[in-house]
Structure 1
Amino acid sequence: MSVDYRPLTDDDLEQAVIVESTAFYNKPTPERLELLRKFFPPDWTVGAFIDGRLVADVRTIPMARRINASATHFGAIGPVACLSAYRRQGHVGRLLRLALERMREQGIPLSGLFTPHDALYARFGWERSEARKQYYLRPSDLRMRIKGALGSIEAVTADDWSRLDAIYRRYVGPRNGPLHRVEPWWRQNVLRHWEEATGGLGDNEAFVWKNANGQDEGYLSYYSRTMPRTGQFVPWEVVVRDFVSLSGDAYLGLWRHLLAHDIATRLAVHMPLDDPFADLVEDPRKVELPRAEGPMIRVVDLERALSRRPFVGSRPVSFTMRVTDPSASWNEGVWRIDAGEGQVQIERNNGDADVELSAGTLALLYTGFMRPDVAAGVGLLKVNRAEALEDMREVFAVTHPPYSNDWY
C-alpha cells in the first residue's frame, strides 16, 4: 500500500468533491464540482492518497485578516474532510502539518477554521480565539426603545456588491478580526447561502440603509428557511448573514427592518460581543442568547505574525517568552519581544524566559480574545517574572474585541 501526501492537481478535483461531500453526509453534485473548479485552484488543497485514491483533504484559502487597523495574511482552513474508513489513522494530522508548512512558505503567518471539534484541532495548535453574540428572537414580540433618525431602506442585488463592499471597508478599517473580501466572496458567500434541501446555492436578500441625505450607512444580507413543523402552519426562520452599520441611526434602522418580519417564527442574528441590542428593546427577556463561537485561530509563523502586528500599547515594553509548538517546530524556543512606537520587534534569545506558553495560548493572546493576566490565572500561562504580565498586556492590546462576520 502506497501513501502520498501532496497538493491536488486538476485531475484530482472530481475525487475531492466525492470525498468532501461524502465526509459531511452530502451528495456530490455537478454544481459542487463547478464551484470547485471555478473558485478554488487545486493547489490550495492538500490531500492524502492511498494507492492513488484520494481519501482525505484540507483546503487553505489565502485571505487577509484585520487587526489594529492593519491587515495580516491569513489562511482560512476549510473543509477538512476524510472518508470514514480512513479516520483516526493520522491522515488529517499529516495534512494539517503539511498545510502549516505550506502557509509558512507562502508568507501566511495566521490561520483560522470553524469547527465543532475543538479537541482535534487544539492538538495541532489551533485555539478558540474569537467569539460572537448570537440572538434568537420572535420579531413580533419586540419593540425598540430608541427610534433614531429616519432613513430609507433600498433593496440591492449581487451586482451591487461593490456598493456593499464600500460600506464594509469603512466598517472593518479599525477593527480586529474581519476578513478582506473580493468579488467572488461577496457573490458566492455573503450574498448567497447553501440550501440543504436542493444541494445548491440560493440567493440572499440584501438591503442598504441610507440616511436623510441619501448616504449609505449600513446594509443587511439575510435569507429565510423553514423550521420543523409543530402545528398547522409551517414556521419560518430569517437568518441574518451580515449586519453592518456605520452610525447609530443606521443600526436602529436596520433593526427596525428586521423586526418588521412579523410572520417569521424566529430571527437569528450574530453580532460582536459588545453589541447592546438586548438592552435596547422593551422586553429584553424575550431575546435568547445561546452560546456562540467564533473560529479557532492559530499562529502559523510566530516571528512574522508578531513583527507585522501593529503595536497599540501605551508604553515601550520588553520581555522574553518560551513557546511550545510541536506541530510547527520553527515557532518553538525562547523569543525576546521589544515593542514601542507602533511596532513589535522579535528575535530568538538564549536566556531564561519571563513567561512560558503553548501555541494555543499564543493564539488567544494574539487576537486579544484573552488577556495575559487572565490566561495566567487559569493556568494557560506560566509566569516566571511577574512584571512581564503587564508588558505582555501592552504588546497584545487590541483596538476592538476580535470578531468576524464571515464563515469559512
Structure 2
Amino acid sequence: MGTHTATGRGHATDTLPAGLEMGTMRPGGWDAYYDALERAFGGVPEPEEYRTLWNRLTEPERTLAVYDQDEVVGTAGAFSFRVSVPGGAVLPAAGVTMVSVQSTHRRRGLLSAMMRRQLTDVRAMGEPFAVLTASEPPIYGRFGYGAATERMLLQVDTSRVSLRVPEGTDQVRLRLADPAKALDACEEVYAQQVPGRPGMLERQPGWAELGVVDPEKDREGHGELLCVTAERDGKLTGYARYAIKPDWSSTTGAASGTVTLRDLEALDPVSYAALWRYLFEVDLTSTVVALNRPVDDPLLHMVSDIRRCGVRVRDELYLRLVDLGAALAGRSYAVPVDVVLEVRDPFCPWNEGRWRLSGDADGARCERTTDPADLSLSVRELGTVYLGGSSLRALAAAGRVEELRSGALAPAARAFSNDPAPWSPHGF
C-alpha cells in the first residue's frame, strides 16, 4: 500500500489523553486496524489482493495502535527490513508504514506518542535507522527524518524519441513470461542489484509478490500485467514488468497507447538496452511511462531527445538515524574522513552530542568524543546525506549545517557522497 500517513499537525506532549490506550495490535484485530487506516485515507477500500498480501506481511508485534475503548483511532506499523548502504553492506532497518490518526482525534498528541514509542522500539531491536515514504513530507522532519533518495518519473514520446544501444544488444534473447511463474528467476536478478546501489531493500520472503499483484480494479484502463525477460547464453539477465493502456482516440484513427513500466532490472548494459528498446517498440503505442527510476538511470544517456522524455524528479525514501554511531559506522566513505560532528536530536536524545567519525572506503568508526566539533547539524541532515544522495555542502548553503572549523565541510561532503545515486525501487 505504500507508506501512508494521515494525521493532524503536531502536539507538544507525548502523553495520550485520558481514555486512550496505545499498544500493539490486538489479537484478531487486523480488519479493524486496516479499516481505520483506509478510513483515514478517504475510505476507498484497497483491492482484496493487496489487503490479503499486507495482512500476510504485517508483523503484529511491530504494529502499534491507539485505542479509544474498542475503536482504533491511531495506527503506526513497521516492517523488519534490510537496506543497502554505501559500500555494499546491507543493514537492518525499520520500514515505517501504515501511519494514521483518525480525524476525530487530531491535535491530541497521538502521532508524537506513536513515533516516540516506535523509535524507542527500533533502538531496542538494534536497527540503526528507520525508513519510510511519506504521503505528507512536512510531517516527518520534526521526528528527525530526512529525504535520503529521489525518484525520477518519465513520460517518453516514443514516436519521436529513439534509443542508441550498445553493440551486442541484438544478441540478447527476449521472451514473454508469466509474471508469477517467472517471479523467482526475476528475483535472483533483483537480489544481485541490491549491494550495488544504496537504498535498495533486500527483500524478505513474501515481499517479491508485491511486484506481481495485479488487481483488475487498479488497472485504470490498462491490460493485465506483462513480463518480458532478457537472456544471454541461456541465463536470465534482466526483466521488465509492464502493462499497456490502449488508446484509439486520435482523430486520425492511429493508435497511441501507453506502456506503463512497473519495474525493470538488468545485469549488464546490453540486456538493459534490449529491454528498453522492446518497451519503446511495443506495437500500437507511442508513450512509455515510468514512475520510479533512479535519477542517474542510464536511459538518460541512450535517448535521442531528452526534452521529449518528460523528466521529473521528486522525493522518495526518508531516513532517520536511530543508533547514530552504529549507522555511521555501518557504511563506507568515498574518501578518507575524520570529522567531529555536533549533533542535535531532541526527539531521540541518546543521539545528541559530539561524535567522531573516522573512515574510508574500507570501513568506519563512529564514537562519542569530547573533542571540539568541526560541523554542527541535526540528525535530520545526517539522514538526508546518509545514503549519499544529497550534499552536506548544499545543506550548509541552506543554513542547515554549520562549519565550526574552517575547511572541515568540503572533505566531509566528499566523503558522504556516493556513486551510484541511492534509489528505492520498492514501495511499502
TM-score over 0.5 (shorter chain) = yes
Deviations 1:299-350 (A, max 9, x none): 12102211222x24433x3221111112211111111222257222122223
Deviations 1:65-113 (A, max 9, x none): 1112110112112121222222333212221221111111111112221
Distance verdict in 2 for CA 1:256–1:175, change over 3 Å: same
Residue 388 of structure 2 contacts residue 421 of structure 2 at CA under 8 Å; is this kept in 1?
A: yes
Q: CA deviation at 1:182?
A: 2.9
Q: Note if 1:83 corresponds to 2:102.
A: yes
Residue 13 of structure 1 contacts residue 36 of structure 1 at CA under 8 Å; is this kept in 2?
A: no
Rounded to whole Å, the distance in 2 between the matches of 1:308 and 1:386 is: 27
Q: Note if 1:178 corresponds to 2:197.
A: no
Matches within 5 A, 1:2-401: 2-25=19-42, 26-27=44-45, 34-67=52-85, 68-146=87-165, 148-149=167-168, 150=170, 151-156=172-177, 157-187=179-209, 189-193=210-214, 196-197=217-218, 204-211=225-232, 213-224=233-244, 237-264=258-285, 266-269=287-290, 270-309=292-331, 311-315=332-336, 317-340=337-360, 342-393=362-413, 395-401=415-421
Aligned residues: 402
Q: CA deviation at 1:250?
A: 1.0
**1:7 partner amino acid:** T
**1:153 partner amino acid:** L
The farther-off stretch of 56-65 and 388-397 is 388-397
Question: Identity, % of aligned pairs?
Answer: 22
Rounded to whole Å, the distance in 2 between the matches of 1:130 and 1:104 is: 23
Q: CA deviation at 1:30?
A: 6.0
Rounded to whole Å, the distance in 2 between the matches of 1:301 and 1:341 is: 21
SS at match of 1:9: coil
Normalization by structure 1: what TM-score? 0.89
Q: CA deviation at 1:22?
A: 1.1
Structure 2 unpaired stretches of 5+: 1-17
Q: CA deviation at 1:117?
A: 1.1
Rounded to whole Å, the distance in 2 between the matches of 1:352 and 1:282 is: 53
SS at match of 2:163: coil
Residue 238 of structure 1 contacts residue 266 of structure 1 at CA under 8 Å; is this kept in 2?
A: yes
Rounded to whole Å, the distance in 2 between the matches of 1:219 and 1:118 is: 32
Normalization by structure 2: what TM-score? 0.85
Distance verdict in 2 for CA 1:198–1:52, change over 3 Å: farther
Distance verdict in 2 for CA 1:313–1:281, change over 3 Å: closer
Rounded to whole Å, the distance in 2 between the matches of 1:297 and 1:62 is: 15
Residue 127 of structure 2 contacts residue 323 of structure 2 at CA under 8 Å; is this kept in 1?
A: yes
RMSD: 2.8
SS at match of 2:406: coil
Distance verdict in 2 for CA 1:198–1:312, change over 3 Å: closer
Q: CA deviation at 1:280?
A: 2.2
Rounded to whole Å, the distance in 2 between the matches of 1:391 and 1:129 is: 20
Residue 154 of structure 2 contacts residue 289 of structure 2 at CA under 8 Å; is this kept in 1?
A: yes
Residue 82 of structure 2 contacts residue 90 of structure 2 at CA under 8 Å; is this kept in 1?
A: yes
The farther-off stretch of 43-52 and 392-401 is 392-401
Rounded to whole Å, the distance in 1 between the matches of 2:224 and 2:325 is: 42
Task: Name the residue aligned to 2:3.
Answer: none
Residue 148 of structure 1 contacts residue 252 of structure 1 at CA under 8 Å; is this kept in 2?
A: no
Q: CA deviation at 1:194?
A: 5.6
Residue 139 of structure 1 contacts residue 262 of structure 1 at CA under 8 Å; is this kept in 2?
A: no
The farther-off stretch of 50-59 and 141-150 is 141-150
Rounded to whole Å, the distance in 2 between the matches of 1:314 and 1:279 is: 27
Residue 140 of structure 1 contacts residue 263 of structure 1 at CA under 8 Å; is this kept in 2?
A: no
Rounded to whole Å, the distance in 1 between the matches of 2:59 and 2:407 is: 48
Rounded to whole Å, the distance in 2 between the matches of 1:89 and 1:180 is: 37
Rounded to whole Å, the distance in 1 between the matches of 2:21 and 2:98 is: 19
SS at match of 1:62: strand
Rounded to whole Å, the distance in 2 between the matches of 1:160 and 1:39 is: 21
Structure 1 unpaired stretches of 5+: none
Rounded to whole Å, the distance in 1 between the matches of 2:81 and 2:354 is: 29
